[in-house]
Structure 1
């Protein structure tokens, strides 16, 4: 009987020694997989944190990034706000329009960022701020925003604001109830992180199709975290990004690749520049590493 007990103890000790080498990795992998959202979940999440930025007409898109009491902060692109004069308005996901004010005291140092503020007693979702450092080339990313109005004659089966079942790279939501301005949600791949920022602070290049009007909208990772702010679409007719912020020029091969991608400002750029008096330090912000 004793020898059987000794064999059992020896077996259990050997098992406890063998397990730690592989178990933690497997546990971490399962946890990471569990945090990934489905395409439908990501689409709904993007809808819940995306808003229209208005000034009499649609200027572009914005992202609900912070809430304190009844006060909400909306992150967008500076070029969206420059396209019209105040007063600005925010149209929230359920269609309600709120007066908004631009927070002029924030210095984003030439990065294509702007912050609006509005007040509402309604409860809206706000973005979960992520981190670009885990992104690897080929990782899925998801861009969202509101496409500019189009004429009825322009809506065809190949129109980017209609559902497309043939595209493997882009997944696009159906048109809005007004049929002329759509919420667009596209899936693509992270393709390039520049060593230094282009003018406007753009560093994240991705394959998603981004339409006019989606500027200021969210770029999400597979976990639904906000990793960037949409701002530039691929193959622009003019104002193609061809200079770094320091005034130097990318090499010709790199310029060609830059022109073929859509671009976003990393969320870390916003986090590093926004005053803590405006958006206090949070757990999400606290874990971010400088770019």
Structure 2
């Protein structure tokens, strides 16, 4: 009997400790605000089940409440046209109002909302409507035009339903997902599909990494949620691949891990903190392996190491093959860039490399991107070194390192090595300043520069 009593006391005590640990570590602090909710990775997966055996209802029921409708009101002035005024009585100088729509995802109970940058671009007024038809004026907190992410904020009297972030790195090809949004101005609409591919790169600079899915996504879904069967946010629906402009097979979403990092940066710093490894090169395949004389056909071959970068300080060399970052395998450049996009300057990454046939791991501290190089609209810039300053007799400016913009390829030899002195009339003293100016612009927006060519000619032109 005493032994039974002892076991009962131990069982009750264990249950109390377990419940206390749950309260301490898993429940949110009721006094905390603007904290993103992140799921645990310990769960059972539904990957191998057919559609008829997967229950989508719980995930859909949760998601429709945290996905919202976003209305973008843009007011612009109609330019004057003397000919139209004379013949048709057309009057210029009047204001024209345009309305655009999209979707968004509530990510905190106090009203932070993530959407696409292209949904809210150039907006003079933003309005958000919840699934219960309540509408709120929204203000723009910050954007990342390169990854097409924007952060909004609404002030609501009550606590709002919000999404829990899932781990997009753990998504598997073939896993079931739901796309939730407001296409065609309808209330929250849910479609289902599978993950078709991961780490899809659709940009020339290679910094983007999308989850590809065959869930039906249409105009108005932009900024909506891609969720797994547990209702966790694993991506922000961004674009479709279609000859008609409507769904025709594939859609793409920014992974939740990249989205979460961008949002946390905007909340904490007001801008996106980008770290870089500091390597240049090519992803391997049969042809590249033959060209470089290596056996590996997967991985990232290092052609060059950037000056002042973490890679240089850690001792990475030309000829190294990067095959792993922390525990993530690297089979392509997109694998490499997508993982780096989830990190910040000064984060330390364990870089797995193959050097002369031997595998080793090197810890690399990421460098602030602006201290190494800046890419914008097919132009790559870098700071002046001591030789540049002596040659051009300058103490400041930034140098055009490379040109990949097809529109300017015929001038590439003239532009390469030229020093930019001003951007849109603003004096440029460093890469960090140039980055701030260029990051404030929309994608592919041209800018006016004053520069000195390698022959000493001073030019003004739009790039």
Q: TM-score, normalised by structure 1?
A: 0.60
In the TM superposition, what is the alpha-carbon distance from 1:198 to its structure 2 partner? Answer: 3.7
| 8 Å Cα contact 1:209-1:233 kept in structure 2 | no
Instruction: Give 3-state SS (helix, strand or coil) of 1:274's partner.
Output: helix
Given that residues 63 and 127 in structure 1 are in contact (C-alpha distance below 8 angstroms), is that contact kept between their aligned partners in structure 2? yes
Contact 1:209–1:234 (CA under 8 A) maintained in structure 2 = no
Q: Displacement, 1:92?
A: 1.4
| Residue 233 of structure 1, CA deviation | 2.0
Structure 1 residue aligned with 2:256, among 238, 242, 267? 267
1:123 CA displacement:
2.2
1:120 maps to 2:137: no
Structure 2 counterpart of 1:189: 194
Where do residues 158-237 of structure 1 align in structure 2 (5 Å cutoff)?
Answer: 181-194=186-199, 196=201, 198=203, 201-237=208-244
Whose strand fraction is larger, Structure 1's or Structure 2's? 2
Partner Cα separation in structure 2 for residue 87 and residue 225 of structure 1: 30
> Higher RCO, 1 or 2 (CA under 8 Å, sep at least 6)?
1
Q: What is the RMSD of the two structures over their aligned residues, measured on CA atoms?
A: 3.2
The change in CA–CA distance for 1:222 and 1:100 in structure 2 (over 3 A counts) is: same
CA 236–129 in structure 1, closer or farther in 2 if over 3 Å, else same: farther
Aligned residue in 2 for 1:32: 44
Aligned counterparts, 1:1-291, within 5 A:
32=44, 38-56=55-73, 57=99, 59-67=101-109, 71-82=110-121, 85-104=123-142, 106=143, 108=144, 110-149=146-185, 181-194=186-199, 196=201, 198=203, 201-237=208-244, 260-275=249-264, 278=267, 291=339
**What displacement does 1:93 show?**
1.8
TM norm structure 2: 0.39
The alpha-carbon deviation at position 272 of structure 1 amounts to 2.1
Contact preservation (8 Å) 2:236, 2:254: yes
Go from structure 1 to structure 2 and tell me whether the alpha carbon gap of 1:121 and 1:232 turns closer, same or farther (over 3 Å shift).
Answer: same
Contact 2:72 2:119 survives alignment (8 Å): no
Structure-2 separation of matches of 1:129 and 1:198? 25
How much does 1:58 deviate? 5.5
Residue correspondences, number: 199
1:140-168: CA deviation from partner (whole Å, max 9, x where unpaired): 0110100124xxxxxxxxxxxxxxxxxxx
Query: Is the alpha carbon distance of 1:236 and 1:217 closer, same or farther for their aligned partners in structure 2, counting shifts above 3 Å?
Result: farther
